[in-house]
Amino acid sequence: MERRKMLTMLGLSPALVAGYPAYARTAVKAVPDSSSGDGLITVLNPGIPNKLATRYPLAPPLDNLEDKTIYMINLSWEGPDAGNYFYGAMREWLAQRYPGIKTSLKVTADGMFGLDPAILKEMTANKADGAIVGVAG
């Protein structure tokens, strides 16, 4: 007996066997199909597989935050205000606990999806030690 037909008669979905496990939830109901004669249909796959991205490692972490220069980058998600409030409070919190820390708050001039070369240039010139980027949502 043809394998697909046998699976159907057993109440199994051939799609299950091929790796689509959700389709064994109900017994297969045969649907007349003049082209195949066995109630099964062959269709093209609409899905397009995602290509996995090339991996990039993280930069080495800091030993601690003492005397470090930390940039806070405000992506201006729906405007800069919320990010500025948040980062402002974060700067105060860090200044109280790390007296030697230097923090700099920057709002990107290229919007939430753009790079801002001027900020990157400034971070290089000022030997930035770390960055906090956000805040979306």
Site for another protein in 17-56 (CB under 8 A): 17-18, 20, 22-23, 25-26, 28-31, 33, 35-36, 39-56
Tokens representing residue 53 in the block: 């991205």
**Residue 88 — left, alpha, or beta (φ > 0 → left; ψ -120 to 50 → alpha)?**
alpha
58 alpha-carbon distance from chain centroid: 16
For the chain, state the CA radius of gyration: 29
| Residue 105 touching another protein (CB under 8 A) | no
The reply to whether 64 sits near another protein by the rule CB under 8 A is yes
Nearest approach in angstroms of CB 1 to another protein is: 15
79 binds another protein (CB under 8 A): yes
Among 86, 104, 105, 122, binds another protein (CB under 8 A): 86
Of 29, 134, 136, which is closest to residue 78 (Cα–Cα)? 136
Shortest approach of another protein to residue 51 CB, angstroms?
Answer: 4
Is residue 100 close enough to count as binding another protein by CB under 8 A? Answer: no
**Count of residues touching another protein (by CB under 8 A):** 83
Q: Which two tokens stand for residue 70?
A: 């930390």
For residue 31 the two structure tokens come to: 């649907």
Asked if 129 touches another protein (CB under 8 A), the answer is yes
**Please, what is the minimum distance in Å from the beta carbon of residue 10 to another protein?**
13
Task: Record the tokens describing residue 20, joined without a space.
Answer: 């689509």
